[in-house]
Amino acid sequence: MAISIKTDEEINLMRQSGHLLAKVHEELHAALRPGISTLELDEIGERTIRALGGIPNCKDYEGFPASVCISVNNEVVHGIPSSERILQEGDIVSFDTGLIYKGYHSDAARTWGVGKISDEAQKLIDVTRESFFEGIKKAKAGNRLHDISAAIDKYIRPHGYGIVRELTGHGIGTSLHEDPMVPNYRKLTRGVKLQKGMTICVEPMITMGSRKIGWLEDDWTVVTLDGSLAAHYENTIAITDGEPEILTVI
């Protein structure tokens, strides 16, 4: 499938969608505390999305049963919210969610600590977020897509963390997942040329130990095989003539 190039009018709609999603993430973060279940957090996320006039884009996506993917500790992504999963002080939690507004998708992920967490866990979270910002420094018209990938890889590598390869970022627009795929590791190819009007999700998924992952019996939850912690940070961005615009922050 060809990469869709959005008009300024479409970018404006994606910005509206993204700004609503930023509010959803604020609500999720504010609700996070020891003792809350991941199902309660999903309900808060879904309620907020709908109250803002959006439609959750995770719900029923290929059968996913909830509006927010909530992944705890060694869970990397696509954790299924559950009333039995009660968060405890020291856990780290990734929220990955998105919505549709006026036909346009937005998608973003954040990892947070619950109460006080270890310095090592906080560093993993911080470095994961920083790698996103390093990557998007290369997200300029005329550069190549894999310049973003290589910049993330270069930033992560000295920390000795693992970079998940099986899952990547992606184009986004009137569909949640559009071309191109956006890898978080260095490729031997350059990738497509970036141009104004491309909208992509850049989403490093980083592990404290080995990058090797597996799937739980529920067929959704992605976990590190060595049990090490994982963090995720994602925004929907637009390529412009100048600096990229992050659509999912306010």
Residue (155 or 233) nearer to Co ion, CB = 233
Q: Give yes or no for residue 98 binding ligand MF3 (CB under 6 A).
A: yes
C-beta closer to ligand MF3: residue 140 or 163? 163
Binding flag, residue 112, ligand MF3 (CB under 6 A): no
By C-alpha distance, which of 5, 50, 1 is closest to 173? Answer: 5
**What's the start-to-end Cα distance of the chain, in Å?**
31
78 binds, among Co ion, ligand MF3, none (CB under 5 to 8 A by kind): ligand MF3
Residues sharing a CB contact under 8 Å with residue 65, sequence separation 6 or more, in sequence order: 59, 80
How far is C-alpha 183 from the chain's CA centre?
13
Q: Judged by CB under 6 A, does residue 78 bind ligand MF3?
A: yes
Query: Is 232 assigned a ligand-binding role in the annotation?
Result: no
Strand partners, 129: none
The contact pattern for Co ion, residues 117-146, with x = CB under 5 A and - = no contact, is: ------------------------------
Residue 69 makes contact with ligand MF3 by CB under 6 A: yes
In terms of CB distance, is 131 or 248 closer to ligand MF3?
248
Question: Residue 64's binding partner, choosing from Co ion, ligand MF3, none, with beta-carbon cut-off 5 to 8 A by kind?
Answer: ligand MF3
From residue 187 to residue 226, the character string flagging contacts with Co ion as x (rule: CB under 5 A) and all else as - is --------------x-------------------------
Contact set with Co ion (CB under 5 A):
107, 201
Binding site for ligand MF3 (CB under 6 A): 58, 61-62, 64, 69, 78, 96, 98, 107
